[in-house]
Amino acid sequence: MRPPSPAAATSRRVAPSARALDVLIVSLGSTEGLRTADQELHDSLERAGARVQLARAKRPRPMRTLVLTDLAWARAARAAADAALAQLSSPPRAIVYSSTTAALLWPRAGAIRFDATSAGNRPGRHGLWQRPLERRRLERAPLLLPWTASGMSEAPAAADGDDRTLVVPVPVEASGAPEREPDIAAITYAANPTKKGLDRVLAAWRGVRDGLPKDMPRELVVAGTSPEDLRRNGVDLASRDGVRVVGALPQDEYRALLRRAHVFVCAPRREDYGIAQLEALADSCLLVTTPAPGPYAALSLARGLDPRLVSEDLEGALRIALSDPPAGYAAGASEALAPFSRAAVDRVVADHLLARLIDSCRCEFGQRYPMKSTI
């Protein structure tokens, strides 16, 4: 099935107030990145002329295992969807579940938008019940909306090889003009310290800091986590010079720090998308990273901008970035990020996504994709 032409998609647009709800987005929102992605999709669909509502899952209490954590979040997403549907006088024309976890216990079938699948990021015992149920959900979903094309590479075979897939990136824009004289040498984001490889980042920083040029700032900023969280993960920064932990910041404060930094450095053990890396590139940071499995959107961009800065030798790459930065990096990053701009994503949503959502998820299509669902 070919996507509709821009003219055809435009002809479908009607004033939002003249009709019932077009799209209900069931938002898991378990991370800042997911919440940002859901709000961006909501806003983009509205700019395309749709009437859209976000049903936000309520954060469950912390669990000890990923198996229980995913169950708690899936139940929270189900409750949010049930509550939103109960308040509507008529069913929405389409439903989008944000993440495969949000879709696991869905009350009605709908499109699934995801950065990564449980088949990829829940190996072994961590995904004992999630993976088989995810496979059935992906098979029955009328439309699959990965954040990147590589996001489909880990999906089960049931989700592959048909015309239900449309890539809809999360838009990334510069948050403002970068500082002319950055006063932070490097910044990293470590909301999940082990997964994000904070131990490797700290080791690389320790090896580089004392040999920096005299006019270079000597501070590594760690965002997204607190000293208490780090101690619970076995990381004690009390004796580490030149490291400042700022915790989980509001988005505008965090992006302001990016604009003050020379380098964003990370060493993820797995990356499901990497919105923090894309934001760093948008705010003119050099990106220093190790390669990582998963649909890591910024990895190919970083290699294209300067392959010296993508290496298992994180210390060596960080030293190059701080002592011998490549010329024209920020301009190249801006060009590489063009497909991730809000305008580019708006074109995908208006010209392709909205019409396909309505066509594929409507109740009349229920013989193949029944709206009512059981596990």
Q: Are residues 45 and 23 in the same domain?
A: yes
Each residue's pLDDT tens digit, 274-297? 999 999 999 999 999 999 999 999
Instruction: Kindly state whether residues 11 and 157 are assigned to the same domain.
Output: yes
Question: What is the tens place of the pLDDT at every residue in 112-164?
Answer: 999 988 888 888 888 889 899 999 999 999 999 999 988 888 887 766 656 88
96 and 202 assigned to the same domain: no
Specify which of 7-16, 320-329, 354-363 reaches the highest per-range mean pLDDT: 320-329
CATH number of the domain to which 84 belongs = 3.40.50.2000
Cα Rg for the chain, rounded, in angstroms? Answer: 21
Residue 178 included in any domain: no
Range of the domain at 347: 6-171+341-365
Mean pLDDT of 85-106: 96
Distance between CA atoms of residues 242 and 186, nearest Å: 10
Number of domain units in the chain: 2
Query: How do the residues of the chain divide into helix, strand and coil, expressed in percent and rounded to 5?
Result: 45, 15, 40
What is the structure's pLDDT at 15? 45
Same domain, 21 and 43: yes
Same domain, 143 and 217: no
Asked if 348 and 328 sit in the same domain, the reply is: no
Question: Which helix (H) or strand (E) element contains residue 145?
Answer: strand 144-146
Residues 303 and 244 in one domain: yes
Instruction: Mark residue 93 as left, alpha or beta (left: phi above 0; alpha: psi -120 to 50; beta: remaining).
Output: alpha
- What are 181-207's pLDDT values in tens digits? 899 999 999 998 999 999 999 999 999
Residue 16 pLDDT greater than 70, yes or no = no
Residues 306 and 166 in one domain: no
Residue 374 resides in a domain: no
Least reliable range by pLDDT among 4-13, 25-34, 189-198 = 4-13
Quote the CA–CA distance of 94 and 230 in Å, as a whole number. Answer: 41
Give the pLDDT confidence score for residue 155 in this predicted structure.
80
Is the predicted pLDDT of residue 362 greater than 80, yes or no?
no
Q: Is the pLDDT of residue 1 over 50?
A: no
Least confident of 226-235, 267-276, 325-334: 226-235
